[in-house]
Structure 1
Amino acid sequence: MHRPWSNLRARVFPDHWSLLFGQIAFYSFIMIVLSGVVLTAYYEPSVDAVVYDGPYAPLRGVEMSRALDSTMAISFEVRGGLLMRQLHHWSTLIMMAAITLHLLRLFFTAGFRRPRRLNWLVVFGLLVVMLGAALTGTSLPDDMASGTSLAVLDGVLQATPFVGPEISALLFGGEFPGNVITWFYPLHVIVLPLVLVILFAVGAVLALRQKPAQYAGPGRTENNVVGRSARVAAVKSAGLFCLVAGVSLLMAATATINPVWLYGPADPANASAGVGPAWYLAFLDGSLRLAPGWEFVLWGRTFSLAILLPVAACTLFLALVAVYPFLEERLTRDRRDHHLLERPRNNPTRTGLGAAGITFYGTLWAAAGADTMAILFNLSVNSLLRFFQVLLILGPPAALFVTRRICLGLQNRDTQLALHGIETGQVLRLPNGGYIEQHRQLNPYRRRQLVPHATQKGTE
């Protein structure tokens, strides 16, 4: 039986900086697990009320849950506790950014084509599971910011028809706020990390079983791999882990994040001001802000478009991201195996669709901070929301059109360079009296990078 690691020593690994995002995500996950183990030893997942009597004077004598009390103790009383809390949070942000960039790199370079469609689903699964892990983790301190997020979550569930109220009752154990920590704690500490480990393992096995994808370049074809040996790649990977760990620790030691002592305990009667969701969850909040406040009655029930539209739009967007490789394969009828990555400009339609998706996501993401923008720039929050509503509708198709035209222009420039070479600025006079500019021809390797494979024969 063939094992994926049996020929690991003889394996060659492509060498390009954009191929490191997956490793950065995995190494950040290691930092999350290590810091999470320390935090678990001191955290108490309980909403039982206690009176705070710790060293932080502004909250002394305030009633709070044991969850927040233990979080305060970790921050101010446990040696290195605040460092571990901030390391846990910063590593989560780095991991989310690395997974997002890895997914974008796979999309724009067509790294999802056969035989790597399952790899795309694994990376997308990592993104979705990390969103769940981040949501459950930020709710565990039971501070005002997390309490406000849970109130929004409960409102969305209550307004979702048919299944929403039942899910809310199950999650919160009755009426809000309930005891949601009893659900979120095992999910965050055991279930979701285990799923992430499984996904990383599946991704590693798939990567070892398949021929590595590489960018077009000198001596690179669909049938070979040009890169570094497994030993050199392992040394560079170890160095990358040290770099990720060092940067994460430096950020945790110098940059404050999630200061729960400034927010105070959660209170259903109040709402936090000036604190928005984490950047990777902001698009959900932005969709709620941009949805129109329309509602209608059907079958004796009231349905609110302010909830239905955001839930439907975000679910559809994520579903399209997940199945895109299969849609493209079906539309293009390209079922061949590909081991060379494409330049984004060489597929203008796909690159334009990616720009449209980024515009759609970015508009929702920016709308989540409309209130803060209004305060900072002395603008009307209602005017800002209307602007984002218009941008949400017109922005994606405009981004598709503009990006596609830019890609076609870059393709034309590359073709001219491959056919005529680089302008030297030297003008020669011909015997017949005419003038011609000298061009320096490109070498075959450079032409192979500039021109799509379908037109190579015509340019060589």
Structure 2
Amino acid sequence: MALMHKVAEAAQNADERYKAAKLLRPRINKVFPGHFSFLFGELALYSFVVLILTGTYLALFFDPSSAKLIYHGTFTNLDGVEVSKAFASTLNISFDVRGGLLVRQIHHWAANIFVAAILVHLLRIFFTGAFRKPREANWLIGIFLLFLGIAEGFAGYSLPDDLLSGTGLRIMSGITLSIPVLGTWLHWLIFGGEFPGEIILPRLFTVHILLIPGLILALLAVHLAGVWYQEHTQFPGRRGTERNVVGTRTVPSFALKSISLSILLTGVLAVMGGIFQINPVFNYGPYTPFQVSINSQPDWYLLMVEGAMRLWPPWRINLWNTYTVPAVFWPAVAMPVLLFFGLLLYPFVEERITRTRRLHNIAQRPRDVPHRTALGTMALTFYAVLVMAGVDDVVAYVFRVPIEHLVWIGRIGVLVLPPLAYLVAYRICLHLQHTDRDVLAYGVHTGVIEQRDGGYFVELVEPLKPERESLVYPRYRGIPVPHLPGDLETEQPAERERSGRQT
């Protein structure tokens, strides 16, 4: 009691000097929607916190140097092998630093979850229309966070200077050189020479621990400020409207839920880091320019680019016998740039097409916007086909299938499957809309069959009553329509009638 009294007295003194209560009171009373899909953004935030903590620990022992030495360490399989100081320090972290391998693997798993959480969060925003006015800025910030997360991941797994990361740097060198006119200059600016040399690892280390994390922190701060001071989107409901938010207040309910999520995520990452092996650089060995092994794939978020490069035909363009545009430029540079700017501009394109400039605080069900849902499904199918193409060498090796056959299957699939996915998703959305309209017009199917006096059979339905004498059914505009008789117990318990619909 004495401690609580002292804390209250300190808070009172602080409020007298800085007027903090006036600022904090509306923030503490802020309401957050309770739907589980709103937690993916918090997963990204807390995984980034884990990344900062584990990355700080790893940076204390890592030496980002390409200088060579003869390894005589704990990992005897590489005893006497010439390695870089970066690779040797990675082995030292893995086998000699207390908890080093655990922290390394937690760091890598957290990086994957960070990018995955951002991607799933953006998908939720896209399919529910939460990017519409007034939240276009937060959508743009989310796209830039996804880009920075991918760049940060690439810089991170390139640091150990093992065979896999060295192969990735060599591929990135070729992609940079493929850019017309500017490629050579950019390559010298990034790699400091004609080939990736000794300067690239210190530069990547600085970018990885300082530049990109600083940008991510700044964008996260702006994003959280935007979320905090704007009204949250929410799914439609009987109480949820454009002018209010239905959910839980910041303190204590939402704060306890958020803290519990952070503890659960940290525990899951610790278990994954201790049980599931990831990026075993000691098995890959040090980077050697003339060597490459099967199963040389980047992390999952860059497999799309890898798959696109494997499927693209070897088409080279010569301009005026002076400039050459290599085939790798189109799948590795042009396609990601177009996708990136397409994602940035999509909210403004949809606003112009739909001609709706009012504020939107109610999230849309995917079935209610079939064109957008079908477009998103098509994009996900395109991504999935390219990811599968990125591992075609492993599939060919495991299943003894000629790699040429898999390449042609991927080329046909990337042209056929995305439009097919668009049509299927669009038709499913229309079918779900028609099902909702049938329920509103006729009622909920009960599955009970009765025989009438004329000898025919009818199925009993539970009809819905509109809130007023109208066929619009305003209560269910955008709200999930009940499809089972049990749903009516909570939707409208006192308004049920029984009628027959001939089957």
Query: TM-score band (shorter)?
Result: over 0.9
2:119 counterpart of 1:71: no
Work out the CA distance in 2 between the residues paired with 1:4 and 1:413.
48
Q: Deviations over 1:96-152 (max 9, x none)?
A: 111110010000011101111111111111100001100100110000000000111
The number of aligned residues is 454
1:12: how far off?
A: 1.2
Deviating more after overlay: 332-341 vs 426-435:
426-435
**Matching of residue 257 in structure 1 with residue 294 in structure 2:** no
The residue number in structure 2 matching 1:215 is 235
The superposition leaves residues 316-354 of structure 1 with CA deviations (integer Å, 9 ceiling, x where unpaired) of 112111211111001111111111111101110000000
* Aligned partner of 1:100 among 119, 142, 148: 119
Corresponding residue SS for 2:27: coil
Secondary structure at the counterpart of residue 274 of structure 1:
coil
Distance 1:365 1:4 in 2: 48
Name the residue aligned to 1:157. 176
- Structure 1, 301-310 or 340-349: larger mean CA deviation: 301-310
Flag the structure with larger Rg.
2
TM-fit CA distance, 1:305: 2.6
Residue aligning to 2:201: 181
Are the equivalent residues in 2 in contact too, given 1:414–1:450 (CA < 8 A)? no
Letter paired with 1:404: Y
Shift in CA distance, 67/442, structure 1 to aligned 2, threshold 3 Å: farther
* Higher RCO structure, 1 or 2 (CA under 8 Å, sep 6+): 1
Of the three residues 129, 140, 143, the one matched with 2:159 is: 140
**Length-normalised TM-score, structure 2:** 0.86
After superposition, the C-alpha distances for 1:25-47 in whole angstroms (9 at most, x for unaligned) are: 00000000000000010000111
| 1:312 matched residue in structure 2 | 334
Partner of 2:54: 35
1:433 deviation in Å? 6.1
Q: Contact between 1:216 and 1:449, CA under 8 Å: does it hold in 2? A: no
- When the two chains are superposed, the root-mean-square deviation of aligned CA atoms in Å is 2.1
- 1:326 matched to 2:348? The reply is yes
Give yes or no for contact 2:294–2:393 (8 Å, CA) kept in 1.
no
Identity %: 39
* 3-state secondary structure, aligned to 1:415: helix
- 1:442 positional shift: 4.8
Aligned residue for 2:226?
206
C-alpha contact 2:236 2:478 (8 A) present in aligned 1 = no
* 3-state SS, counterpart of residue 288 of structure 2: coil
- Which of residues 383, 390, 413 in structure 1 aligns to 2:405? 383
Q: Tell me the secondary structure at the aligned position of residue 219 of structure 1.
A: coil
Distance 1:263 1:451, change over 3 A: same
Distance in structure 2 (CA, Å) of the matches to 1:380 and 1:386: 10
> Partner of 1:337: helix, strand, or coil?
coil
Counterpart of 2:268 (choices 235, 240, 247) is 247
Matched position secondary structure for 2:328: helix
TM-score normalized with structure 1 length: 0.94
Which 4+ residue blocks in structure 1 deviate beyond 6 angstroms? 1-4
Matching of residue 227 in structure 1 with residue 231 in structure 2: no
Alpha-carbon distance in 2 for matches of 1:87, 1:448? 50
1:288 partner amino acid? M
Q: Select 2:291's aligned residue among 267, 270, 283.
A: 270
Residues 262-285 of structure 1: CA deviation (Å, up to 9, x unaligned): 011111111132231100111111
2:145 matched residue in structure 1: 126
Tell me how far 1:422 sits from its aligned partner.
1.6
Gaps of 5+ in 2: 1-18, 468-472, 482-494, 496-503
Deviates more, 1:422-431 or 1:297-306: 422-431
Determine the C-alpha separation between the residues in 2 that align with 1:58 and 1:436: 77
Cα distance change, pair 4–389 in 1 and its aligned pair in 2 (3 A): farther
CA distance in 2, matches of 1:220, 1:14: 10
CA contact (8 A) 1:291 1:307 kept: no
2:332 & 2:192 partners in 1: Cα distance? 25
**What are structure 1's unaligned runs of at least 5 residues?**
none
